[in-house]
Amino acid sequence: MSLVINEEQNMLKSSAKELLDLKSPISLMRKLRDDNYNQFDSNLWNEMVEMGWTALTIPEEYNGLNFGYVGLGQVIEEMGRKLTVSPMISTVLVSTSMISMSNNDVLKSKLFDEIMSGNKLCTLAHEESSHHSPNIDLSIISNNNEKFILNGKKRFVIDGSISDYLIVSANSEFNGSLELIVIDSKSKGITFNNKVHMDSKIYSDITFNNVEFSKDNFLSVDSDGQKILNKTLEIACVGLAAEMLGIIQQAFEMTMQYLKEREQFGVKIGSFQALQHRSAIMFGEIELCKSIVLKALQAIDSNDKNLSELASLAKSKLGLTSKLVTNEAVQMHGGIGVTDDADIGFFLKRSRVLQRIFGDSNYHLDRVAKFNKY
């Protein structure tokens, strides 16, 4: 497959940029933060739903657009440029991908309808420790006749504070397999500890204390939970890499602009070779990032058997490069770069959280080594 985006995907990218320029400038992110860390702008979300973004990766037989992940990746990349605050990552990138793989057709249809219409938000409750792991210890389900009970703790749930449904990964006591259960976030026995993180987004620690649910709530069927979870995590990593790609491009462009405007010693600071060489190196690293993100997005759409490795390459490369570029961006902005008045710091802070979600570059480089048997 040719490593370029096609005309349709390019049009989607342009329309995303247009909408976000208008409805989600960086100032909106600042305004929401200043409004006591508001996580949701209903006007913006309605626009996104209207544009069909919630339906992008949903199959046609469920009335979705089946546009594919290269398309979704373009939208997420543009969102990265604007530091857009929305449930797109939790509800669309992560949850929709997971639901797509489910064999519980009744639940699948219901959730797709509710997500596409924008009426319900959904997120994955999976992590249990300070570092990402596909494996879990806690959250045990007991089979009590027709009733099931969930006990345990989850950490770092994206958009947990605004989601209507939680997809919970849990080990079942009765068959030993990992199951995925959709739980109403208002269910009895659930308590939230909502924590603001560096990117001004809220991530929830959630405790499940004898939360009851029925057979109908299982997204996983016949022990396919781990398989669905693993693939979802890989897709999510690629999507997050696309967001990081947006972030580093925007931070880099803002920095190049600054180097061309700011004067010291009677000249533009961009004329200093010390800054030029570091800028040129960043340019190259960003070119590499574009290649791996597109390749990995295409791998999702084409069911490429190398998706696992490509996802890890994308997440590790973008993690490392976003660190380099956001650090340099702040440094090259000088004093203004470390003030809250300047937007550039937001890119640094968002990138640091994104690096960690679903595994940082250390985690994913370790996976790359394992895939290659060393």
Q: Please report, as ranges, the residues that interact with other proteins according to CB under 8 A.
A: 2-4, 256, 259-260, 267-268, 270-271, 273, 275-277, 279-281, 283-284, 287-292, 294-295, 313, 316-317, 362, 365-366, 368-370, 372-374
Task: Work out how close the CB of 361 gets to other proteins at its nearest, in angstroms, rounded to a whole number.
Answer: 9
Question: 191: buried, middle or exposed (CB in 10 Å: 19+, 13-18, 0-12)?
Answer: exposed
Phi, psi at 272, each rounded to 5°: -80, 130
Identify which of residues 131 and 277 has a Cβ nearer to other proteins in the complex.
277
Identify which of residues 303 and 372 has a Cβ nearer to other proteins in the complex.
372
Task: Work out how close the CB of 260 gets to other proteins at its nearest, in angstroms, rounded to a whole number.
Answer: 6
Identify which of residues 281 and 338 has a Cβ nearer to other proteins in the complex.
281
Report the distance separating Cα 139 and Cα 152, nearest Å: 4
Q: How far apart are the first and last CA of the chain?
A: 29
CB 178 within 8 A of CB 169: yes
Task: Work out how close the CB of 3 gets to other proteins at its nearest, in angstroms, rounded to a whole number.
Answer: 4
| Buried/exposed code over 102-112 (b: 16+ C-beta within 10 A; e: otherwise) | bebeebbeebb
Task: Work out how close the CB of 294 gets to other proteins at its nearest, in angstroms, rounded to a whole number.
Answer: 7
Identify which of residues 176 and 266 has a Cβ nearer to other proteins in the complex.
266
What residues contact residue 135 under an 8 Å CB cut-off, 6+ apart?
none
Task: Work out how close the CB of 8 gets to other proteins at its nearest, in angstroms, rounded to a whole number.
Answer: 14
What residues contact residue 240 under an 8 Å CB cut-off, 6+ apart?
89, 93, 315, 318, 354, 357, 358
Task: Work out how close the CB of 5 gets to other proteins at its nearest, in angstroms, rounded to a whole number.
Answer: 9
The first and second tokens of residue 28, run together, are 């909106």
Identify which of residues 275 and 357 has a Cβ nearer to other proteins in the complex.
275
Identify which of residues 230 and 271 has a Cβ nearer to other proteins in the complex.
271
Identify which of residues 174 and 283 has a Cβ nearer to other proteins in the complex.
283
Q: Specify the DSSP class assigned to residue 162.
A: T
Identify which of residues 198 and 281 has a Cβ nearer to other proteins in the complex.
281
Identify which of residues 141 and 307 has a Cβ nearer to other proteins in the complex.
307
What residues contact residue 250 under an 8 Å CB cut-off, 6+ apart?
80, 81, 82, 347
* Nearest in space to 243 (alpha carbons), one of 104, 93, 116: 93
Task: Work out how close the CB of 59 gets to other proteins at its nearest, in angstroms, rounded to a whole number.
Answer: 28
Task: Work out how close the CB of 235 gets to other proteins at its nearest, in angstroms, rounded to a whole number.
Answer: 19
| Buried/exposed code over 252-278 (b: 16+ C-beta within 10 A; e: otherwise) | bebbbebbeeeeeeeeebbeeeebeeb
Question: 372: buried, middle or exposed (CB in 10 Å: 19+, 13-18, 0-12)?
Answer: exposed
Task: Work out how close the CB of 256 gets to other proteins at its nearest, in angstroms, rounded to a whole number.
Answer: 6
Report the distance separating Cα 107 and Cα 6, nearest Å: 34
